Amino acid sequence: MSVHKPELKKVTTHRLLEMKQKGEKIAMLTAYDYSMARLLDGAGIDILLVGDSASNVMAGHETTLPITLDQMIYHASSVIRAVERALVVVDLPFGSYQGDSGEALRSSIRIMKEAGAHAVKLEGGAEIKDSIARILTAGVPVMGHLGLTPQSIYKFGTYTVRAKEEEEAQKLIEDAKLLEEVGCFAIVLEKIPAKLAAKVAASIQIPVIGIGAGQNVDGQVLVMQDMLGITQDFKPRFLRMYADLQKIITDAVSNYITDVKSNDFPNEQEQY
Ligand code: KIV
């Protein structure tokens, strides 16, 4: 089995741009805690996203809406302490940036100062342009996020594929160009037709990272719990499971329970 040996140079937004120019794909995963972030960084991941999906996979909420800025800062600071190489991007949670560019700036500054993050991510296009522009004035790099934007789930009503119709696809293309013009260093495209994602990636210079957006983009992102098979009952078409940790963990824990109950653990070598 070949092991991917990462170069030790830190990943920067400039490096990501170079990767796009050279056609090198960008690998991104979510992380929310120190131990996992250390493993993912050590394995050579390019970007770690402290996603507001923490609301689902860490806290068990149905949507991403309940997670707070304080909770995002807690997760982000744990990840930052673990990372030596990856670029760490942190989601601005719902309610911390929409409709008020001053609040967007203050929220981003808290994330950079208190967690030590490298960049922030915001969901939306033209409607949050002012917030993005304001954050950029403080020298904070911004990643955009278009397509299925889970913070707007109550507007969409469903987690189904976005931008299948011409009008929404056209708005998405315009939004992507706008995010590039305003100064975003990269954009996530979530759950949109592969052809549309490829068109967007080819029409802008900044990297486009897809999740459920096909292979003709500049990189891919998955939620770590989903790709490691920890999440239960979530099997969208775009997800490839790289491990079955649910089985590995369940087997390990049931072996432990058996050993404790039968007094097999601890044995003489495992005591003082
Ligand atoms: O919060 C998250 O995990 C995300 C990814 C799905 C891109 O935004």
If you write DSSP's letter for every residue of 111-133 in order, what string do you get?
IIIII--SEEE--BSGGGHHHHH
Instruction: Tell me how far the alpha carbon of residue 22 lies from the centroid of ligand 1, in angstroms.
Output: 25
Per-residue confidence (pLDDT) for residue 171, from 0 to 100:
98
CATH number (domain holding residue 75): 3.20.20.60
Q: Is residue 213 part of a domain?
A: yes
Query: Quick one: 36 and 168 in the same domain?
Result: yes
Q: Is residue 7 part of a domain?
A: no
Per-residue confidence (pLDDT) for residue 3, from 0 to 100:
66
> Which residues in the chain belong to E strands, given as ranges?
26-30, 47-50, 87-91, 119-121, 142-147, 186-190, 208-211, 219-222
Query: Quick one: 253 and 193 in the same domain?
Result: no
Domain membership of residue 161 as a residue range = 13-241
Per-residue confidence (pLDDT) for residue 217, from 0 to 100:
98
Query: Quick one: 27 and 110 in the same domain?
Result: yes
Query: Quick one: 235 and 266 in the same domain?
Result: no
Q: Is residue 2 part of a domain?
A: no
Instruction: Tell me how far the alpha carbon of residue 52 lies from the centroid of ligand 1, in angstroms.
Output: 7
Query: Quick one: 90 and 35 in the same domain?
Result: yes
Per-residue confidence (pLDDT) for residue 4, from 0 to 100:
67
Q: Is residue 8 part of a domain?
A: no
Query: Quick one: 99 and 204 in the same domain?
Result: yes
First CA to last CA distance, the chain? 39
Residues of the chain with pLDDT under 50: none
Query: Quick one: 172 and 64 in the same domain?
Result: yes
Q: Is residue 223 part of a domain?
A: yes
Q: Is residue 4 part of a domain?
A: no
Per-residue confidence (pLDDT) for residue 232, from 0 to 100:
85
Give the number of domains in the chain: 2
Q: Is residue 5 part of a domain?
A: no
Query: Quick one: 126 and 220 in the same domain?
Result: yes
In this structure, which residue's CA is closest to atom 8 in ligand 1? 51
Per-residue confidence (pLDDT) for residue 233, from 0 to 100:
86
Residue 268 falls in the annotated catalytic set: no
Among 62, 190, 268, 270, the active-site one is 190
Q: Tokens 């499971």 label which residue? A: 241
Query: Quick one: 170 and 249 in the same domain?
Result: no
